[in-house]
Every structure is written in structure tokens, then in C-alpha cells.
Amino acid sequence: MQHSPKVIIVGAGFAGLQAAQSLGRSGAEVLLIDQHNYHTFVPLLYQVATAQIEPGQATLPIRTLLRRFAPRSSRAGVRFLRTTVQRVDLKNRIVETEGGPLPYDYLVLATGSKPQFLGVSGVAQHGLLLGSLEDAIVLRSHILKQFEAAAWEPDPQRRQQLLTFTIVGGGATGIEVAGALTELIRGPLKRDYSTLDLRQVQIILLHAGDRLLAELPSSLGDYTRKRLRQIGVEVYLQARVNRVTEDTVYLTNGQKIPTETVIWTAGLDANLLAGTEHLPTATRNRVFVRPTLQVPGYPEVYAIGDTAHIEQQGKPLAGVAPEALQAGVTVARNIQRQMRGRDPQPFQYFNKGRLAIIGCFSGVGKVGPVLLTGFLPWLMWLTVHLVYLPGFRNRLLLLISWLHAYFFNDRSVRLIQPGFSSMGASFQASASQDPPDRKQNFS
């Protein structure tokens, strides 16, 4: 081979970043592309949204994570390009970016997922999401704005509406948000809004299925529902959303929930690049891949993470971080095999277990055949995420934030951040339509 092969990896999430790092010393010329200059540690986003940690604690500069692999004397190593990919030309092996076309020898598609609104009207306009750092900051600002507005709202009915928080989706994310929101309100907000009657706060979790955490054994879902109810979350099972407006959620059973806050965690679709439309896809728009993670018809193209439909023992993977990380390692190994003229090997996911955090010192988990509920899986969840977060300083700061939050029941990252437009804008408008009789309160 006269030159080192060029590998382009699109997306610096768990899968793409891991693939880049694992290829770091392979002799390949690796280019990692992402639209952001930071890697988002997605499992911690709900903590950003509930004012527990700083945005910078759930994100890491990509270049710092790649420092060890920076090209030195030769061109081999990993480089980073912050740009938007416009399309891929799989036939001619070119990635077209804002900054021009980039040829590749191997391509890794790791572009993650995007929210799926399941055809429910109004969610795109009025729903709040939790898929990106920006979403999390917008959600945090929105929650805090509702309290600011409620503090001066003389009409009890309108106040009730401001203080009703609806979460759609009974998967891990929905449950995390419901629990963390409860912690936020019971702890710091109770003290900050001492003149506000917080018995008016309603946190409602809407789930379309029969039980929460469908991918875990049903006893864990039952425990979660019971625990959420104990801490004050109203859990509605078999509840499907029909329509969302600026101030109401309509369910298919005719029920109406007056609320300005709809946190949508109900579904994710693969976020596919233009130029890949012809690839065969499974549910959630995920690209079918071979057991080796190669895209059918393109042996030099791999898809991993939420972009791909990966089956293990006849069942698709759930879409959690450990799967993405392990797939990243496999892709790196398979590309190195191909570079040496050998065949790629099938991906084998090693499941270390699953944990879900509920909040208020409880969680659930399944490790091998053992089911866990209560404090232990809660602590395990925090420990695992602390350990997996890269960087000593980040871990230390995260640990202090958590100790502070859990020992003192307080949080201090409660900025209503200016400058964010996005979906929060519609709410901003409504929040500023506050009643003209605030004077009444103050007089």
C-alpha cells in the first residue's frame, strides 16, 4: 500500500468517538467529523436539564479526547473536523461537507438519532426534548421560567397549569427526568419559592405501553411505577398523546391535561445522512447491517450506534452507550483486519447488565440474572457513569456536584440562559404574557 488508508468517521457520539480512538494507533489516517466541537455524554443530559450539573460537565472537547492520537511525523493518527456533512456519495466514496468533498477508503456512519414524533401534531412546535446539550439547556430554562411565572401568578388555575410538567415516554429517559424534576422541586426550588404553594406542582408521566422500562423484566417496571408514585409522580399507563398545543396535552382517551410543559422522550429515529436513503432499514429508520457491522453492498462502509439496526441472538440492541462503545471497538478492529487483507469478524455484544436511575435515592437494575431495586442500583448508576466519564477533573467536579446535590439537597446551576431560541421560544412568548395584575400581588 503506497499510502495509509483514509478512514472517515461521521459523528462523535459514543460509537464514533470510540471507533476513532481505537483506530488511533492503527496506522490509518482517521478523520472524525462532527457538527459540534464537543462529545456529549448523553446519559447525564437529564441532570443538565434539571439544574444538577453544568453543561460543561456533560460534554467534553473532542480534540482533548483525541490528543493522544494526533498525527505527528506521519499523517497517520486521528484528526478532527467540525463541520456539517451534506451528503455521502457511497458509490464514489466521498463525503461532501460544507467545506468541500472528502474522499475515503473506509467510512463509519455513527450519526446517532433524532426525535421521532410518532405523528402527534404539535410536538415539534411545543414539545421539549432531551437529545442534545442544547435541548437540555432549553429545558432547564423552560422549567425555571415556569416557576418564575407561577411565583407571581394570582389565578390558581393558571398557576396550576404553569406548575404541571408532563413527560411523554416511560423508558429510561422519561423516568430519569421525572425523578430528577421531583428532586429539583422538593429541594432547591422549594426553598427558592417559599411563598409558592408547591402542592400545586404536578409531574405526570405518560406511557403508551402496559409497563415502564419495557426492555427490563416486568418486576422492575412495577417497582419503578410504585416508586415514582411514592415520590409524587403521577404515572399514566396505556396513555397515548393525540395532540399537543401551547397550553394543553390531549390524550387519545379524551383526557385533557392543562400544561405548558411537554417533555418528549417517546421515540428516536436513526439520523441518517443524505445519500444513504437507498440502504435497507429496519424499525426506527435504522440501517440494517451485517453481523460484521458492514453496510450490505458496501464492504468499506460501517454503521454503528443508533444509526444501525444491530441484532444479537435474534433481538435488536436497545441503543444504550455500552453497545455503541463496543461496536466502536469492533469496527476499528474490522477496519484494521481489512487493511491487512483479512476478513472482518462478527460483532459480539457483551452485556454487563442494565441500570436505570429513578432518583430520590432509588434505581433498578439487572446484572446477569440478578434483579436489583432501591438504593444499590441508584448508587451503581452514579458510580458507573462517574467512572465512564473521561478525565480526572471532570470526575472530581461531577462527584462534588453530586455530593452537594444529594447531601445538601441543593443545586446551584439554575440559570435561565439567555440567547437560546430553539423550541423554547414558543414558551418564552407565552411566559411573557403574564397577567397584568401583578401589582395586586405586590400591593
Residue 300 near a copy of itself by CB under 8 A? no
Residue 191, judged by CB atoms within 10 A of its CB (0-12, 13-18, 19+), counts as exposed
Q: What is the rounded distance in angstroms from the CA atom of residue 233 to the CA atom of residue 88? A: 45
Q: Of 56 and 346, which has the nearer Cβ to a copy of itself?
A: 56
Q: Of 230 and 440, which has the nearer Cβ to a copy of itself?
A: 440
Mark the segment that binds a copy of itself (CB under 8 A) among 159-167, 305-313, 372-380, 416-424: 416-424
Q: What is the rounded distance in angstroms from the CA atom of residue 294 to the CA atom of residue 101? A: 23
CB 96 to a copy of itself: min, Å: 10
What is the Cα 241 distance to its own chain's centre? 21
Mark the segment that binds a copy of itself (CB under 8 A) among 10-18, 237-245, 350-358, 393-401: 393-401
Total Cβ atoms within 10 A of residue 281: 18
CB 229 to a copy of itself: min, Å: 29
Residue 218 near a copy of itself by CB under 8 A? no
Q: Considering only residues 422, 426, 428, 430, which one is a binding residue for a copy of itself as defined by CB under 8 A?
A: 422
Query: Which entry of 176, 183, 260, 323 is annotated as an active-site residue?
Result: 176
Q: What is the rounded distance in angstroms from the CA atom of residue 192 to the CA atom of residue 180? A: 17
CB 177 to a copy of itself: min, Å: 20
Could you confirm whether 176 is annotated as catalytic? yes
Q: Of 383 and 412, which has the nearer Cβ to a copy of itself?
A: 412
Question: Are the CB atoms for 55 and 48 separated by under 8 Å?
Answer: yes
Q: Segment 138-197, which members bind a copy of itself (CB under 8 A)? A: 138, 144, 148, 152, 188, 191-195
Q: Of 156 and 346, which has the nearer Cβ to a copy of itself?
A: 156
Residue 54 near a copy of itself by CB under 8 A? yes
Cβ neighbours of residue 95 under 8 Å, at least 6 residues apart?
A: 8, 10, 33, 85, 88, 89, 101, 102, 103, 104, 107
Q: Of 75 and 352, which has the nearer Cβ to a copy of itself?
A: 75
Judged by CB under 8 A, how many residues of this single chain contact a copy of itself? 74
CB 116 to a copy of itself: min, Å: 21
Sign of the Cα torsion 276, 350, 381, 57 reads negative
Q: Following DSSP, what letter does each residue of 363-417 receive, concatenated? A: EEEEETTEEEEEHHHHHHHHHHHHHHS-SHHHHHHHHHHHHHHHHH---------
Q: Segment 65-104, which members bind a copy of itself (CB under 8 A)? A: 67, 70-72, 79, 81-83, 97-103
Q: What is the rounded distance in angstroms from the CA atom of residue 200 to the CA atom of residue 234? A: 13
CB 107 to a copy of itself: min, Å: 13
Q: What is the rounded distance in angstroms from the CA atom of residue 325 to the CA atom of residue 349? A: 10
Residue 1 near a copy of itself by CB under 8 A? no
CB 421 to a copy of itself: min, Å: 6
Residue 312 near a copy of itself by CB under 8 A? no
Cell numbers given for 26: 492503527
Active site residues: 176
